[in-house]
Structure 1
């Protein structure tokens, strides 16, 4: 329960809470070079780096009350699922993966290529490269999946102060955002996914990821109440 001081009207000066953001991402790797997707780990206004996402649930309501926000920590959970069949698979006219049966070349039917999936956190996004290149880098975790292994979940967390070395981030310039502006000092969560081999270059593969991010945020500068 939040207690407002007796000499303070309306809303408390600061409000600390946790907001949740969820997004689905489709990965369709065609080579061992990984595909990458980034989220801002300390930005409630625009978590998706592409600028095409939405805001965590409740963000608009809190920004109706407060002018600024600061994310102090966040956590990501990514569930990876292989979409497809034991090979070969192909895309039908509707754009869906289907199983192709070719009895004339049944002896050459390959299994779906296994995939390597990973999560990274840092101030910069990963450069392009194969999975083993990404696995050598700091603050990176990975797992392997195939068409028969079922889903796998990875988790990662961070404190913004661990990257910027500031004792007090709340309200600090560069680390605080508004309804119209994002923080300029950014930390990223990055998803990546690639094939473990190019043995069957024509094979169609697809991995679906559900990313859930929970932001620990402090809202500050309550707006002045108007007449009712």
Structure 2
């Protein structure tokens, strides 16, 4: 699926229609694919409000070794890497709701992850990530000079819709988590300051993933998928001009 031309400001803004087709509403020239394992799939479901856009439904949690997985891969369609922020300020996030079950303590403490949006891996020299592990949203931004991780004080309630945004501004990373439909409350934002440097992704083919973790070639990482369990609405990635 290739991108649609719009005048929206984000580089990436994804929507899903009632037929389950994904569409790019942002500015970047990208291609969209769905990487799956073990019968995993995404589907379109009603959003949090009547008449709202359709939300993206990801696979439910399973503690089995071989469980259904589905992750959205957004990759550059042209030669220019429109998905790397480099030294610019940038933000990324989405509206989301977690399933009632996204972890299991039987037979052992299992949490197969709840990665919402990510580009690059923990072993890479540059990456950024938004995860909801343990019901606590957290942002990670890594550059040439260091890594900042900031975790929200908000413990999200399964079944409740939230809007979450991670933002890098200079040497500061901020996370905001707000119940969907409410105005952001500055008191709930958390920030951390430190040296980050250039967040330039080395390989332009590295996918921007939504709903889990992908290898550079766009394949699901079977050993640690960090599958998001729930629904997502309008995931976005924006580089400030």
TM band (smaller chain):
0.3 to 0.5
Question: TM-score by structure 2 length?
Answer: 0.31
Question: TM-score by structure 1 length?
Answer: 0.32
Normalized per residue, which structure has more helix? 1
